[in-house]
Amino acid sequence: MSNSAPRVAALYRYPVKGLSPEPLEKVRVEPGETFPNDRAYAIENGPSGFNPAAPLHLPKANFLMLMRNESLAGLDARFDDATGVLTLRRDGRVVAEGNLATAAGRQAIEAFFDDYARDELRGPTKILYVPGFSFSDVAAKVVSLINLASVRDLGARLGTEVNPLRFRGNIHVEGLEAWTELDLVGKRVTIGGVVLEGFDRIVRCAATNVNPVTATRDLAIPRSLLELYGHGDCGAYLRVVEGGEIKGGDGLDIAGG
């Protein structure tokens, strides 16, 4: 049983799909939107047919992503909102840097990935960006919630610690009973002054098998979820209904919960 009231334990965004998270102390969200600059960019893995003039959601297989490209976890990515500069580090050393608002900056990042992921490419890489578009795994604009109690329960069943960053969520929550996040679909969740609504459970893919620290595939998360719990879900997608600011430590109030 949980001994504390539900609260936000951590906040993260992922400016570039497939690359590392950036921790946030607070975030302002708008109705019907993602976290600002969350999955705002993607790295096209060869021609995908994506049309910036009429952007449509495409399967993640069209992009570099952890499900197939675990070497991405070996990079530490930082995006500067004010300058548009993406900096990539490996083992603490800057290996690439470019202003994604300029052709030269994008080409610098593309040249790096053309070499770094050369054995996994279907064609030249290309940085994709459309203002207001999100390269999320789902077409709907949502934020993702990870219940740390569920992650710990999974780890206990597996006999090993499971890093919650494997699940690439926006909001990490403490104080909920394990797996109760799966029941949030259709419920209103208030965090600080922000009102969200449960949209869907998150079905996990093989990206979660990749250790975000070692960049190796050392667990079989989807298979383990099915074998241990009879489903492949961990976490929940939420839609922002009423905007505002979310910060670390904010409490959660679940309507009907």
Whether 28 and 149 share a structural domain: yes
Whether 75 and 122 share a structural domain: yes
The total number of structural domains that make up the chain: 2
* CA distances from residue 202 to 139, 142, 143 in whole angstroms, order as listed: 13, 11, 11
Whether 25 and 72 share a structural domain: no
Handedness of CA 254, 226, 20, 141 (dihedral sign): negative
Q: Domain boundary at 129, 151, 170, which? A: 129
| Residue 105 φ then ψ, to 5° | -65, -45
Q: 12: burial class by Cβ within 10 Å (0-12, 13-18, 19+)?
A: buried
Domain encompassing residue 52 = 41-129
All residue ranges of the chain with pLDDT < 50 are: 1
Q: For the domain that residue 195 is a member of, what is the CATH number?
A: 2.40.33.20
Whether 185 and 212 share a structural domain: yes
| Residue 86 φ then ψ, to 5° | -100, 125
Whether 191 and 118 share a structural domain: no
Whether 22 and 67 share a structural domain: no
Whether 22 and 63 share a structural domain: no
pLDDT at 4: 80
Q: Nearest to residue 124, comparing CAs of 19, 64, 44, 16?
A: 44
Handedness of CA 57, 58, 64, 68 (dihedral sign): positive
Q: Which residues of 144-179 are buried (b: 16+ CB within 10 A; e: fewer)?
A: bbbbbbbbebbeeeeeeebebbbbbbbbbbbbbebb
Domain contains 107: yes
Q: How many CA atoms lie within 13 A of 102 on its CB side?
A: 10
Whether 246 and 175 share a structural domain: yes
Q: Nearest to residue 141, comparing CAs of 67, 204, 65, 199?
A: 199
pLDDT at 1: 44
Q: Residue 13: enclosing H or E segment and its boundaries?
A: strand 7-13
* Per-residue model confidence as pLDDT tens digits over 64-122: 999 999 999 999 999 999 999 999 999 999 999 999 999 999 999 999 999 999 999 99
How many residues comprise the chain? 257
Whether 46 and 151 share a structural domain: no
Whether 57 and 101 share a structural domain: yes
Domain contains 2: no
Whether 116 and 80 share a structural domain: yes
Domain contains 1: no
